[in-house]
Amino acid sequence: MAGPHTPVSVVIAGKDLRRSLKSRSLVLTAVVGPLALGLIMALAFGGSAGPSATIAVVDRDGTATSRAIVDALREELRGGPVRVRADVPDPEEAVDAERVDAAVVIPPGWTESLSASPEPLRAVRNPDRAIPGEIATSIAGQVTSQADLVRAATSTAAALGADPSGVTQVRPVVTVSVRDLSQAFNAPLYFGPLSIFLFLAMGTGARGLVREQKEGTLDRIRSTPTSARTIVAGSSLGVMAQGLVASLLVYAVSTLLFGAEWGRPVDVVVILVSFVAAISGFAAIIVALARTEPQAEGWNNALAFLFGILGGAFFGGASLPGLLGAVGSLTPNSIAMRALVETGPGGQALVEVWPLVLALWAMGAAGVVLGGAMLRRRLL
Amino acid sequence: MTEQGPRARVVRCEGLRKRYGDRVAVDGVGFAIAEGETYGLLGPNGAGKTTTISMLCGLLHPDEGTIEVGGSPMTTGRCEAKAHLGLVPQDIALYPDLTAKENLSFFGKLQGLDRGELRTRVAEVLELVGLADRAGDRIEGFSGGMKRRCNIAAALLHRPSLLVLDEPTVGVDPQSRAAILDGIDDLRREGMAVLYTTHYMEEAERLCDRIGIIDEGRLVAEGTQPELVAAVGQHPIVRLAAEGDLTTFAGLAADAPQVVRAAASDGRVEVSVLDPTRALAPLIESAEAEGLRISGVEVVQPDLESVFLHLTGKALRD
Amino acid sequence: MTVVSAVCAVDLRRLSRDKVALFFLLVLPFVLIFAIGAAFPVESDTVRVGVVAGETTGVGGALIEAATSSKSLEVTTYDDVREVVRDIRLGELDAGIVIPEGLTRTVEQGGEGEVSLELDPAQRSSAMLRNMVSSVLEDQALVLTAARFAQGRTDAPPQEALRVAEQQVRELARGQVRSITVGGGTEAPVSGFAFTAAAQMILFMFINALAGGASLVEMRTTGVADRAMSGPVDAGGLIGGLTLSRFLVAVFQGSLIATVASVAFDVDWGAPAILVSVILLFALVSAGGGVLIGALARTPDQAPAFGVPLALAMAALGGCFFPLAVAPPAMQVVARVLTPHAWATDALVSGVFDGATIVDVLVNLAVLAGFAALFLSLGVVLLRRRLEHR
């Protein structure tokens, strides 16, 4: 692995990385954890395939108008994620028994009622099928809107002296199409948990020197012709390497296996590296300020979760309102999330978000340099 | 032992002083070790052994004094002196989750060994400590003795001119201990200087050419074992088990040349002598002349334990 | 019994001195409840909408006017759709409306104009937002459509057609959709403190119990267990004490969240019997989880290192981060098989939102008891083996 003249700091970093990979806790905590959480969230919110559902459409009206509506719906939704079934006699029973996810019912006398006070359409929903329930309500709403459109159009025409009888379809002038942004970009679902778990894992790495002092290996390293600066640099490099390996694995696996959308690869990698640098800085400062290793661990883990919550890790990267949001926007988690969002699909070029990237590096550099100096004075 | 004449000094330290607050941990310690020489540092717990070793190895900066290893001054920073040094810490200073080979490769790289050299040295050193067949096993799976051996191996990779061993045989089974002591003997024969601290008096007696006794931060005595014994007025004892008038014989023997004092007790006579090789024959002769029937003769060298007790008023293993 | 209580007391005393454990027990749950509660709007809130106006007159102008004058929308104007997308993703907007350039021309030429509504379902309750925003736009579209339809059939001037259409639409008795929920109860709203408090209670009871498994590993590996067992103490007493302390901590955690949510966030938990039985049973589940991880982990560090991600993943799957009902059916099945969380949150939510009584959630309680029995017996068997045969 190392050439004849590998810098000693790289040798030390390599040793730390090797140990953390061997212990498997890095991979379990910082790779499997975020991947599992991100995948669960991505699946829950539909993922790239969109929600799928089987909706029964039941025509109890039995008029030409209602039949036309059912046919039009089947035609419109054919081949999409929503399957329409028109052969369900008892929709309430079918939805309850979960043979279909939800149902739309055109009640008897519906066409007739349109001329005066329209009979409501029924959306039959099961509380355990919230999304299909929404879809059924939305389909019923579409049918109602179309009927309203016909009624508004014909009554307006009649008021102006025309005879619009027999009109069953009116093409709307303007339609509203919904664009689901999560399909083009769902990096926050993975980056949110990653930002927390990375902090936990890198904190463990940062405490390495304190542990080595206790275990005696630090004395052995120091008895070799290795300067204190090199030892601290090697340790910091090792912490960064661990963070980098974990975050790149999460990026790669979520993209390649789960179809996650993060944005342009170069931008994503630069932002992840910068975030890892920032977290290294915090982890180093914590280790330097804490008096004991358990204390450092406690501070580190508490901060990891606080940053995660304030930085929006638990709500798809969205910032919080008010003071919490203002404080949260200063966390490295929030800054990196913002950089990912800004450069996400259809977003800006990486160079345009340089202040964010610079801020992450500034946090990292300040923490590593300051923390490193303090640690060097204390341990070496 | 001195047949090659004066040998080069590998390590020299003078006037070492280290203070922690009001407490002076090390107070003016100085000694030198030549190549091929094993120097034992003996002292009760808290005497300043580990502080001295830490300063010597550049782990701790002395408040006063100078240290030179391999002709270069030792500092706590990165320095040439450290390249001459191999430290075997008291703890098993190895990574339990890495294999023996991975551990040795890592520390070898820190010593600046290049790739080819590293590979051969790791193999040689593992062979030397008898762990060649366990090279690929993790340290955490090793027995206590194997861990100790590997702990020593890690200090030998770069062929240091000074090997510093801090209590290297604590908690080791007798077999491994013997192997470790034999190994150190071999290294000394190859010309390595060894600084050795131990609680085990018999190890110091067996291994060390010279011994420094440290107590409350001061080096209270230094020398070869016979020198130390002589310096504190302890003499070898010739112990005769015999029948007859032992009291009269003791009175006679006390006036003989070479004899310091003599006393009879409980079927035997104990005679303190200057030099047992010269005192023994005349003693036996006169005993026979007095008509004693001798059933046993024993020469007891005064040991470091008694020297230590005499000098510090403390038992070594407290 | 004295052994059990002695071991339990020591474990609790150690916990009370662990500032970090206390932080995760006493502080973090409320930070999270407060943050999530604040982050998600309730139905009465206005929707923050960013509008990109490709045109400000004609059809587009009418739509913008409709949005701006709506009480339910808070409109901000943007120049670039990319900025709208960014601010939605950053949570600074709830939705975006993009009115294309030349919309009026398209409509005047008899075409169908399309207005785009930008939403991120991972961020907000998108169904609610979509309905709120669409209804505002569609009302306006209805007027425009009716006016054009009438124009095509009469020779009324456009202004006149529009005026009549507006009047007709105003007077129109609008079609309604009536939701019929089968399978009992009403649907849980997806926002507000109540759901969050219930979900975080379950999340934190379990996560802290798993993290607390570290103290079991410590006792196992530092020889304290050996020392205890060298006296007249068998493994059962030791395990009993450790399990009891995990259980008590989880009960404390659950009760604390329930109390604070009720006092500070005004959450009405519904039937007390449901709340109490879920807390007790889920505390048993959590204690079992803690003992299990305490038996499985090799070093004290491993318990939180494996336990925390595991607990978070189980919480996410079990509906503690979003209502499980929004998830695909297959995922709901998986969640119910793999996590006790799904059953616990479901029971709590039924109590809070549906006015369920304890009879309605008996199945949930039985399943929780089953999970508790499974985790506890597995944990105890493994731990006993670890303690007795090494």
Pairing of strands C73-78, C47-53: parallel
Tokens matching residue B9 = 């000094």
- One domain for residues B164 and B245: no
Q: Is C112 in contact with A173 (Cβ distance < 8 A)?
A: yes
pLDDT of residue B314: 66
**Higher pLDDT among residues A85 and C191, named by residue:** A85
C and A touch per CB criterion (3+ pairs under 8 A)? yes
With respect to residue B1, please indicate whether it lies within any of the assigned structural domains.
no
Rounded-to-integer distance, Cα C270 and Cα C194, Å: 11
Q: At C108, which amino acid appears?
A: E
Cβ distance A3 to B110 less than 8 Å, yes or no, reads no
> Of B230, B245, B270, which residue constitutes the final position of a domain?
B230
Q: Which of B55, B98, B110 to mutate to test the interface with A (most CBs of A within 10 A)?
A: B110
Helix A228-256 to helix A187-206 angle, to the nearest 10 degrees?
160
End-to-end CA separation in angstroms for chain A: 28
pLDDT of C223 > 80? The answer is: no
Domain ranges of chain A: 8-45+186-379, 51-179
Is a pLDDT exceeding 80 seen at residue B77?
no
Residue A348 to residue C80: CA distance in whole angstroms: 12
Statement: residue C133 has pLDDT above 90: no
Q: Indicate yes or no: CB of A217 within 8 angstroms of CB of B94.
A: yes
pLDDT tier for residue C265 given thresholds of 50, 70 and 90:
confident
Strands B23-34 and B9-20: antiparallel
Which residues, at least 6 apart from B164, have a Cβ–Cβ distance to it below 8 Å? A223, B53, B56, B57, B85, B86, B87, B88, B155, B194, B195
pLDDT at B317: 52
How far does the CA of residue C352 sit from the closest CA of chain A (Å)? 14
Q: Residue B7: pLDDT above 80? A: no
DSSP, collapsed to helix, strand or coil, labels residue C319 as coil
Q: From CA C126, how far away is CA C130, in angstroms rounded? A: 6
- Looking at chain C, list the stretches that DSSP marks H as alpha helix, in order from N- to C-terminal side: 2-16, 19-22, 28-39, 58-69, 81-89, 103-108, 126-153, 158-171, 193-221, 224-230, 235-264, 272-296, 302-317, 329-338, 340-353, 362-388
Q: What percent of chain A lies above the pLDDT cut of 90? A: 37
pLDDT(A370) > 80: yes
Least confident of A199-208, B227-236, C53-62, C155-164: B227-236
Q: How far apart are CA C286 and CA C43, in angstroms?
A: 34
Q: Quote the CA–CA distance of C271 and C213 in Å, as a whole number.
A: 32
Residue C376 has pLDDT above 90, yes or no: yes
CATH number at residue B261: 3.30.70.100
**B7: CB partners within 8 A, 6+ apart:** B34, B35, B36, B37
How close, in Å, is residue A45 to chain C by CA atoms?
6
**A260 has a chain C CB within 8 A of its CB:** no
Q: Which residues of chain A lie closer than 8 angstroms to B90, CB-CB?
A: 216
**For residue C97, which phi and psi values (nearest 5 degrees)?**
-120, 125
Asked if C113 and A173 come within 8 Å (Cβ–Cβ), the reply is yes
Residues B266, B190, single domain; the answer is no
**CA-nearest residue of chain B to A380?**
B59
- The distance from CA C91 to its chain's CA centroid, rounded to whole angstroms, is 17
Contact A220 B114 (CB under 8 A): no
Residue A9's pLDDT band, with cuts at 50, 70 and 90, is very high
Confidence at residue A364, expressed as pLDDT on a 0 to 100 scale: 95
Chain A residues in contact with C103 by the CB 8 A cut-off are 174
Separation of alpha carbons B299 and B316, rounded Å: 24
Backbone angles phi, psi at B238, to 5 degrees: -100, 120
pLDDT digits (tens, 9 = 90+) for C321-339: 877 877 777 888 899 999 9
Asked if A203 reaches chain C (Cβ–Cβ under 8 Å), the answer is: no
C67 neighbourhood in chain A, CB within 8 Å: none
Cα separation, C279 vs C266, in Å, equals 19
Residue appearing with tokens 């509504």: C117
Percent pLDDT > 70 in chain B is 96
- Indicate which of A20, A223, A232 best probes the interface with B, i.e. most B CBs within 10 Å of its own CB: A223
State how far the Cα of A345 lies from the Cα of A198, in Å rounded to an integer: 24
User: Which residues on chain B are in Cβ contact (under 8 Å) with A12?
Assistant: 110
DSSP lists the bridge partners of residue B262 as B271
Q: Measure the CA–CA gap between A41 and C122, rounded to whole angstroms.
A: 8
A129 vs C121, C165, C325: nearest CB? C325
Least-confidence region, from A127-131, A156-160, B29-33, C307-311? A127-131
The verdict on B135 touching A (C-beta cutoff 8 Å) is no
Residue B159 vs residue A320, higher pLDDT: B159
Q: Which residues in chain C have Cβ-Cβ distances shorter than 8 Å to A42? A: 122
SS (H, E, C) A174-210: EEEEEEEHHHCCCHHHHHHHHHHHHHHHHHHHHCHHH
Q: Assess whether pLDDT exceeds 70 at residue A356.
A: yes
How many alpha carbons lie under 13 Å from residue A284 in its C-beta half-sphere? 29
C-alpha span between B281 and B278 (Å, rounded): 7
Q: Looking at residue B291, what is its pLDDT?
A: 85
Q: What pLDDT, on a 0 to 100 scale, did the predictor assign at position A344?
A: 87
Q: Mean pLDDT over all residues of chain C?
A: 84
The whole-angstrom separation of Cα C290 and Cα C249 is 11
Looking at residue B200, its pLDDT comes to: 79
Between A135 and B166, residue with greater pLDDT: B166
Task: Flag whether B4 is in a domain.
Answer: no
**Mean pLDDT across the stretch C63-87?**
88
DSSP 8-state symbol, A112: H
Interchain CB contact of B80 with A (< 8 Å): yes
- Is a pLDDT exceeding 90 seen at residue A368? yes
Domains of chain C, CATH where assigned: 2-39+189-388 (no CATH), 47-171 (3.40.1710.10)
Rounded Cα distance between B273 and A198, Å, is: 74
Statement to judge: residues B88 and B168 lie in one domain: yes
Count of CA atoms in the C-beta half-sphere (13 A) of A353: 24
Count how many Cα atoms sit within 13 Å of the Cα of residue C321 in the half-sphere of its side chain: 29
CA dist A139 and A117 (Å) reads: 20
With beta carbons less than 8 A apart as the criterion, state whether B16 and B31 touch. no
- According to the model, what pLDDT value does residue C204 have? 92
Same domain membership, residue B224 and residue B100? yes
In the 8-state DSSP scheme, what is residue B205?
Answer: H
Q: How far apart are CA C213 and CA C21, in angstroms?
A: 12
Using the beta-carbon criterion (under 8 Å), do A324 and C35 form an inter-chain contact? yes
In a domain, B56, yes or no: yes
Say whether A174 and C145 touch across the interface (CB within 8 A).
Answer: yes
For chain A, the average pLDDT equals 86
Share of chain B above pLDDT 90, in %: 34
Q: In this structure, is residue B308 part of a structural domain?
A: no
Give the rounded distance of the alpha carbon of B173 from its chain centre: 19
The rounded distance, in Å, linking the Cα atoms of A130 and A127 is 6
Instruction: Name which of C146, C182, C190 is nearest A152 (Cβ-Cβ).
Output: C146
Candidate from A151-160, A313-322, B104-113, B123-132 with smallest mean pLDDT: A313-322
Closest by CA position to B131, among listed B148, B115, B116, B118: B148
Asked whether residue C282 carries a pLDDT value surpassing 90, the answer given is yes
Of C41, C101, C126, nearest to A183 by C-alpha is: C126
Query: Using alpha carbons only, what angle is made at residue A365 by residues A362 and A371, rounded to the nearest 5 degrees?
Result: 130
For residue A161, what pLDDT band results from cuts at 50, 70 and 90? confident
d(C-alpha C152, C-alpha C169), whole Å: 18
Q: Could you say which DSSP state residue B99 is in?
A: B
Among the partner-chain residues C90, C316, C326, the one whose CB lies closest to the CB of A338 is C90
Task: State whether CATH 3.40.1710 applies to domain A51-179.
Answer: yes
Residue A237 predicted with pLDDT over 90: yes
Closest chain C residue by Cα to residue A344: C86
**Which residue in the set A144, A152, A309 is minimally distant from C176, CB to CB?**
A144
Find out whether B108 and B157 touch, Cβ atoms under 8 Å. yes
A144 pLDDT higher than 50: yes
pLDDT tops 50 at residue B226: yes
Chain A residues near residue C118 by CB distance under 8 angstroms? 179, 181
Write the CATH number for B110: 3.40.50.300
Mean pLDDT over A304-313 rounds to: 87
Task: Say if A315 is an interface residue toward chain C (CB within 8 Å).
Answer: yes
CB-based contact A80:A33 (threshold 8 Å): no
> What are the b/e assignments for C72-89, b being 16+ CB within 10 Å?
ebbbeebeebbbbbbbbb
Contact flag B110-A11 (C-beta cutoff 8 Å): yes
Minimum mean pLDDT range among A146-160, C69-83, C211-225: C211-225
In a domain, B15, yes or no: yes
Dist CA C298 CA C221 (whole Å): 8
Is there a contact between B82 and B74 (Cβ–Cβ < 8 Å)?
A: yes
Backbone torsions φ then ψ of C46, nearest 5 degrees: -80, 155
What's the pLDDT tens digit per position in A42-68?
A: 887 754 344 567 889 999 998 888 888
Match 């379809």 to its residue by tokens.
A169
In this predicted model, what pLDDT tens digit does every residue of A176-198 receive, in sequence order?
A: 888 878 777 888 889 989 999 99
What is the residue type of A67?
R
pLDDT of residue B2: 41
**Cα distance between residue A327 and residue C298, in whole Å:** 39
B239 and B168 within one domain: no
The structural domain count of chain B equals 2
**Disruptive mutation site among B53, B106, B113 for chain A (greatest number of A CBs within 10 Å):** B106
Indicate whether A312 pLDDT > 60: yes
Q: What is the ipTM of this complex?
A: 0.82
Q: Which two tokens stand for residue A23?
A: 């212990």
Q: How open is the CA angle A186-A188-A189, to the nearest 5 degrees?
A: 75
Reported as a single tens digit per residue, the pLDDT across C4-60 is 888 888 888 888 888 878 888 888 888 887 777 766 655 556 788 999 998 888 888
Tens of pLDDT, residue by residue over A202-235, are 998 999 988 898 888 999 999 999 988 899 999 9
Look at C117 and A346 and tell me if their CB atoms are within 8 Å.
no
Residue-level pLDDT at C125:
57
CA–CA separation, B238 vs B296, rounded Å?
10
Question: At residue B212, does pLDDT exceed 50?
Answer: yes
* Residue B207 shares a structural domain with residue B278: no
pLDDT at A284: 93
pLDDT at C188: 47
**Residue span of the structural domain in which B141 resides:** 9-230
Tokens of C124: 């907000």
Q: Give yes or no for residue C185 having a pLDDT over 70.
A: no
For residue A142, give both structure tokens: 């579409």
What pLDDT is recorded for position A129? Answer: 76
Residue A367 is inside which H or E element, if any? helix A354-379
Residue B245 has pLDDT above 90, yes or no: no
Task: Look at residue B167 and tell me if it is in a domain.
Answer: yes
Q: What is the pLDDT of residue C390?
A: 58
Query: Using CB atoms within 10 A of its CB, is residue A75 exposed (0-12), middle (13-18) or buried (19+)?
Result: exposed
Q: Do chains B and C touch (3 or more CB pairs under 8 A)?
A: no
Over residues A91-105, mean pLDDT? 88
Asked if the structure places residue B318 within a domain, the reply is: no
Interface of C with A in 186-205 (CB under 8 A): 186-188, 190
Nearest-Cα residue of chain B relative to residue A24: B97
Query: Which among C163, C117, C115, C124 is positioned nearest to C46, based on CA atoms?
Result: C124
Q: Which of residues 296-335 of C touch A (CB under 8 A)?
A: 301-302, 304-306, 308-310, 312-313, 316-317, 321-329, 331-332
Which range in B294-303, C196-205, C211-220 is most confidently predicted, on average pLDDT?
A: C196-205
Q: Which residue of C has its CA nearest to A194?
A: C309
- pLDDT single digits (tens) B101-130: 999 999 999 988 888 999 999 999 999 888
CA distance B169 to B201: 12
Question: Which tokens sit at A138?
Answer: 């939305």
Q: Under DSSP, is residue C178 helix (H, G, I), strand (E, B) or coil?
A: strand
Phi, then psi, of C159 in degrees rounded to 5: -60, -40
B234: its two tokens? 């302890």
Reported confidence tier of residue B3, pLDDT bands at 50, 70, 90: very low
Greater confidence (A184 vs B59) lies with B59
Are B31 and B177 members of one domain?
Answer: yes
Compute the half-sphere exposure of residue B114: CA atoms within 13 Å on the CB side of its CA: 3
> With an 8 Å Cβ cutoff, is A20 touching chain C?
no
Q: Which H, E and C letters describe A278-337, residue by residue?
A: HHHHHHHHHHHHCCCHHHHHHHHHHHHHHHHHHCCCCCCCCCCCHHHHHHHCCCHHHHHH
